[in-house]
C-alpha cells in the first residue's frame, strides 16, 4: 500500500471565490499538506507559480480578467524558464463534456467538476503523483499525453502520423433533437 507524504508537496490554489479557497485549504491541510499558496486570479497565480514553484496547481476555470484556462496555457510554455510540466488540476463548475475537451487541449492534467468532494480531490492528486503521463509536443499542443487509453483495439483516425483516416460516423445531437419522437 502507498501513501502520499502531503507534507512534502507544495500546492498553488487559484480560485476567485473565497469560500471555495477555504474549502480547498481545509481539505489539503487535512490531507497533511503544509504548503498551500492561494491566489484569487490567474495573473497573480502565474506570478506565484514562478516564485514558489509549486508541485501541483489546482485552479478554477472562470475568473475575472485572466482565467484558469489561460493560466494553464501560460504554464504550458515549453520554452519558458519556469517548470512547464507541473500537474494542473482544473476544479470547475463547468460540467459539460465540451469544456473537458477544451481544458484537456490547454494542457490540463486532471479535470474535477464541482461539487468538490474530499474523495474526488484526493483521487486526482493521487493520480498525478503516482501516474504521471509523458508530455507531447506538437505544433499546436504541449502538455500531458491526451491518450489515456492504451488499448490496441482503437479503430479511430491515427492523427499523429497524418495517415489515411478512418472516421466513425455518428448522428449529431442536432439531428437527434430535430427527429420527431
Partner 1 sequence: MAKQKSSSLQVRAYADHHVITQPNPLRSVLRRVAEKDLDDPVARAEKALAGLSGEFKNWMETETGRLAAAHAAILKDGFTKASREELFRAAHDIKGDAATFGFPSAAATAESLCRIIEHAPDLAKVPSNLIAHHINAIQAIVHERTKLDTASTASELSRRLRGVADEYLAHANRDRPDHLEAILSPSIAPAD
In the complex, the residues that contact partner 1 under the rule CB under 8 A are 1-6, 8-10, 16-17, 19-20, 22-23, 26-27, 29-32, 35, 53-55, 62, 64, 83, 85, 87, 92-98, 100, 113-119, 121-122, 128-130, 132, 134-139, 145, 160-162, 172-174, 176-177
Least gap, CB of 148 to partner 1 (angstroms):
15
Least gap, CB of 171 to partner 1 (angstroms):
11
Q: State how far the Cα of 50 lies from the Cα of 39, in Å rounded to an integer.
A: 13
What residues contact 46, with CB distance under 8 A and at least 6 apart? 66, 71, 74, 75
Least gap, CB of 166 to partner 1 (angstroms):
18
Q: State how far the Cα of 77 lies from the Cα of 64, in Å rounded to an integer.
A: 22
> Residue 78: what are its φ and ψ, rounded to 5°?
-60, -25
Cβ distance to partner 1 smaller for residue 22 or 157: 22
Least gap, CB of 28 to partner 1 (angstroms):
8
Q: State how far the Cα of 33 lies from the Cα of 141, in Å rounded to an integer.
A: 32
Q: At what angle do helices 42-52 and 68-75 cross, to 10 degrees?
A: 30
Cβ distance to partner 1 smaller for residue 37 or 44: 37
Amino acid at each position: 500500500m502507498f501513501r502520499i507524504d502531503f507534507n512534502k508537496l507544495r500546492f498553488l490554489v487559484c480560485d476567485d471565490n473565497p469560500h471555495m479557497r477555504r474549502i480547498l485549504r481545509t481539505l489539503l491541510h487535512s490531507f497533511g499538506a503544509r504548503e498551500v499558496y492561494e491566489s484569487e486570479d490567474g495573473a497573480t497565480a502565474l506570478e506565484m507559480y514562478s516564485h514558489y514553484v509549486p508541485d501541483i496547481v489546482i485552479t478554477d476555470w472562470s475568473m475575472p480578467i485572466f482565467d484558469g484556462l489561460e493560466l494553464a496555457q501560460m504554464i504550458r510554455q515549453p520554452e519558458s524558464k519556469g517548470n512547464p510540466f507541473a500537474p494542473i488540476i482544473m476544479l470547475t463548475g463547468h460540467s459539460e463534456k465540451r469544456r473537458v475537451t477544451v481544458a484537456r487541449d490547454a494542457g490540463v492534467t486532471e479535470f474535477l467538476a464541482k461539487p468538490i468532494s474530499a474523495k474526488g480531490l484526493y483521487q486526482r492528486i493521487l493520480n498525478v503523483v503516482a501516474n504521471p503521463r509523458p508530455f507531447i509536443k506538437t505544433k499546436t499542443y504541449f502538455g500531458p499525453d491526451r491518450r489515456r487509453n492504451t488499448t490496441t483495439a482503437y479503430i479511430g483516425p491515427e492523427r499523429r502520423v497524418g495517415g489515411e483516416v478512418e472516421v466513425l460516423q455518428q448522428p449529431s445531437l442536432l439531428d437527434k433533437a430535430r427527429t420527431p419522437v
